[in-house]
Amino acid sequence: MRCPNCAELDTRVLDSRPTDDGQAIRRRRECPVCQHRFTTYERIEQSPLVVVKKDGRREVFDRQKVLNGVLTALQKRPIPLAVAEQMVSEVERELRQNGGGEVSSADIGERVMAGLRRIDQVAYIRFASVYRAFEHPGGFREMLEHLEGGGDDESSGL
């Protein structure tokens, strides 16, 4: 691995540990020439997951984009970042196992909503209000009544 500070080719590994439930390895490295320390991540290279948008456009799945949406919904909520990252990792793993290379943006949104519903119902409502594009207060009311009744998203369309 090339040193980002001085471009020396030979760096040594100081520490290695698994991250993301064993899906990546984090390595602390040091350059023997300039003593600069830096971190690298090693991940399994997977075939790209393509997202099919509502309008038919296709784009490569961006995990960070999903995480940003989740973090926005969780803003000012008492949920640790690690929990959000874990949920997004689970969503991505499910998509890769079931998607066969292509997945609809609707499928991603539904899986994210299900994950948020499990970890924080306020964040779930925030995300759903944007995802489902509520145009009147009745949409919120229906969702809240559904949540309080313990209903299942699959059966009601919420």
> How confident is the model at residue 76, as a pLDDT?
95
Edge to edge, the sheet with strand 12-19 lists 12-19, 24-30, 37-43
Averaged pLDDT, 10-39: 91
The percent of the chain in helix, strand and coil, each rounded to the nearest 5, is 45, 20, 35
Domain boundaries, the chain: 12-43, 50-153
Q: How does pLDDT run across 105-155, given as a tens digit for each residue? A: 999 999 999 999 999 999 998 998 888 777 777 777 887 887 787 655 444
Half-sphere exposure at residue 46, Cβ-oriented, CA atoms within 13 angstroms? 16
> How confident is the model at residue 99, as a pLDDT?
61
Mention every residue, 6+ apart, whose C-beta is less than 8 A from residue 85: 20, 67
Contact 103, 95 (CB under 8 A): yes
The burial class, CB within 10 Å (0-12 / 13-18 / 19+), for 28 is: middle
Contact 114, 87 (CB under 8 A): no
Q: How does pLDDT run across 51-93, given as a tens digit for each residue? A: 999 999 999 999 999 999 999 999 999 999 999 999 999 999 8
Of 87, 59, 62, residue with least CA distance to 73: 87
- Residue 20: pLDDT band by 50, 70, 90 thresholds? low
pTM listed for this prediction = 0.66
Averaged pLDDT, 31-44: 92
> How confident is the model at residue 154, as a pLDDT?
45
